[in-house]
Amino acid sequence: MSLLVQVTIFLGAAILLVPLGRRFGLATVLGYLLTGVVLGPSGFNVAGDTEAVMHFAEYGVFMLLFLIGLELQPSRLWALRRPIFMLGGLQVLVTGVILMFTIWLLVGGPSSTIFGIDLKSQLSTSFIIGFGFALSSTAFVLQLLSEKNQLASAHGRDAFAILLFQDIAVIPLLAALPLLSHAGLQPDEQGFNFVYFAKVVGVFIGLVLASRIVVRPLFRLIVSSGANELLTAVALFFILGVAMLMNQLNISVALGAFLTGVLLADSEYRHEIEASIQPFKGLLLGLFFMSVGMSTNLLLIADEPFLVIGGALGLMTFKFIILFGIARLMGNRLPTSVRLGVSLAQGGEFAFVVFNTAVSQKVLPIAIAEPLILIVTLSMAMTPLAFLLLEKFFEPRFAKAVPEREFDEIPNHEHKVIIAGFGRIGQIVGRILRMHHIEFTAIEKDARQVDFVRKFGNAVYYGNPTNPELLRSAGIAHAELFVLTLDDPEQAVITAEYLKRTYPKLKIIARARDRNHYYQLREAGVKLIWRETYLSSLGMAHASLLALGFDEATAEESIDVFRDYDEELLERQQAVYDDDVKLVESARAAMIELEGLFDSDHHAIRSQNKLANDDGERFNPIRKKTDHGS
């Protein structure tokens, strides 16, 4: 079967099986592995020569390593230096070293063997296994954390930093394989020497010169010529050329791809290069994982269930303990440490890369690589189950263990102004009031925001403005103005309804997140409402017209016409905002009406502009409105 037919079969199966796997909650990497298993000898055995496909798909790994190098900007690494190099470095080093010596001494005794291989005399084999297991799944973990909205959490940030270090650490690991191939399973060949390192240094110097003298000028030439499609060709040519050079010099191709990316990381064409390579990287990596799945021997689970299943559970338990201990050592709280350990307890896709490369370099026998790949795959498959156990059994306990913070006791200042919601909008209102020496009481329901704002010397109280008792203690009975800028639209409406019902004479100025929120606030009785980002949008539209060559008067009048029409439309749509069908019909009719308005009044606009300019009237996006602001 030709390589073209094999690749076609793989792509067709992936198109069907990977999206199907995603529907059942499987990560993309697991979907590709499962596709390979189905096509390989353990499944329908229709894919043909696995080794040929894997050799072709290895270019996806090269491109992945190239993109990792491309992302390693010095400024980014410096900003994250502590979590990357402290947390990440400790995790890889401690996990790798302990696993390496555990495996080396697994059975005990100088002649101990596993799968017929003498591990006692194969420290290099143990090194590859230990540090391969130390790596976690970047794609899998980031996808899970993203789906659970945990990337911005404390354990999400630490997990990202550790994964970034692991991505960097895989480069020296792969670069060491040619050396280990001489020191490990082939003792009759030459041992360690400095020739390899001399080659690496020479190639690095050559790549530095090539990137400065050849590649960047070539990119500038292509961009200036307008043939932007050739950017992809140049990027691919450079990567494949380096891969061929590394093969000829018997140097790690992975190291060459990574160094190439690092040298172009500060290039002005970095983003164009990354965008050009990304689709090829994704497809070829998919083929690589499918070829790994195809070479997976599922019969080993039946033959060695204790080794494979027990190995996966043991790996996850061990990595959880190490990660938990390191996180606690670095000062993380107990819940954060537990979540971090669960997130990174599995093996990763780079373990497949390391183990398969080690097999090709004759560092790792295929008899050992097969169960190792199964162990990593099972650990990845069990990660969603680990998250489920965390959420069902541990998270409720964490919630009980953390005492609920009591609301602040608000002094009875009887200020004229109360600001409910002291985020980015509430703070600006407060700063301007303070300019005029107007005292106010600020209430914020997010305890973290309260603590953050207080660092800058702002007086703000932790509490929920929907609580009538808290409003009374804040002096609502003596207030003249209530500024409502809560992030939560539902709570904002509840607060507005209570205030209009209980304190009808109180003036309320509210911020609406969108049109629907605006309508709800209007129904609650609020008249002065400012739509979030609305004025900024008008200002940007005004600047856009000027940038496109419109004169100042036409741009100003266009904004005025749109604003007047949009406010009239708000009034008309108030009655139908909760009817989706009628609202859509109204919006479509309004778009046609507005376009016709601009077309018919084009000459009138110019005449009005002339009169306005003669009177000295200038554009002001914050025009005073008589009823509801903006």
Count of residues in the chain? 630
Question: In the 8-state DSSP scheme, what is residue 614?
Answer: H
End-to-end CA distance of the chain: 69
Rounded-to-integer distance, Cα 140 and Cα 398, Å:
25
Question: In the prediction, which pLDDT does 13 show?
Answer: 82
CA 416 – CA 420 distance, rounded (Å): 13
Cβ-in-10-Å burial (0-12, 13-18, 19+) of 238 comes to buried
For 109, left (φ over 0), alpha (ψ -120 to 50), or beta?
A: left
pTM above 0.75, yes or no: no
How many CB atoms lie under 10 A from the CB of residue 1?
A: 11
Beta strand residue intervals within 55-101, DSSP E: none
Q: What does DSSP assign to residue 106?
A: S
570 contact partners, CB below 8 Å, separation of at least 6: 515, 518
Q: Look up tokens 């502590």; give the residue.
A: 82
How far apart are the C-alpha atoms of 67 and 276, rounded to whole Å? 11
CA atoms within a 13 Å half-sphere pointing along the CA-CB vector of 49: 11
Contact 235, 290 (CB under 8 A): no
Q: At residue 402, what are phi and psi to the nearest 5 degrees?
A: -90, 115
pLDDT at residue 610 in the model: 47
Residue 44 CB burial class (10 angstroms; 0-12, 13-18, ≥19): exposed
Surface-to-core class of residue 246, CB atoms within 10 Å of its CB (0-12 exposed, 13-18 middle, 19+ buried): buried
Look at residue 443 and give its three-state secondary structure: strand
* Contact between 140 and 29 (Cβ < 8 Å): yes
Domains of the chain: 3-395 (1.20.1530.20), 408-532 (3.40.50.720), 538-630 (no CATH)
Contacting residues for 145 by C-beta, under 8 A, at least 6 apart: 151, 156, 159, 343
Q: What is the DSSP string of 335-391?
A: HHHHHHHHHT-S--HHHHHHHHHHHHTTSS-HHHHHHHHHHHHHHHHHHHHHHHHII
- Walking along the chain (630 residues) 10 residues at a time, the average pLDDT comes out as 71 83 74 80 69 66 74 64 81 91 67 49 80 85 74 79 84 78 45 62 78 78 76 78 78 73 73 75 74 75 84 93 90 86 88 84 82 87 84 75 60 80 84 82 80 66 83 86 88 90 90 84 87 82 85 86 80 67 64 59 49 46 43
Q: Which residues contact 201 (CB under 8 A, 6 or more apart)?
A: none
pLDDT at 133: 93
| pLDDT on residue 605 | 47
DSSP state at residue 628? S
- Cα 467 to Cα 36, 355, 497: the distances in Å are 58, 59, 12
Torsion of CA 266, 269, 275, 281, to 10 degrees: -60
Q: Which helix (H) or strand (E) holds 117?
A: strand 117-118
Positive or negative, the Cα torsion across 400, 401, 402, 407? positive
21 Ramachandran zone, left/alpha/beta (phi>0; psi -120 to 50): alpha
Q: What is the dihedral of CA 31, 37, 38, 43, to 10 degrees?
A: -160
- Are residues 29 and 352 in contact, defined by beta-carbon separation less than 8 angstroms? no
Q: Measure the CA–CA gap between 235 and 418, rounded to whole angstroms.
A: 58
- The b/e string for 434-457 (b: 16+ C-beta within 10 A; e otherwise) is eeeeeebbbbbbeeebbeebeeee
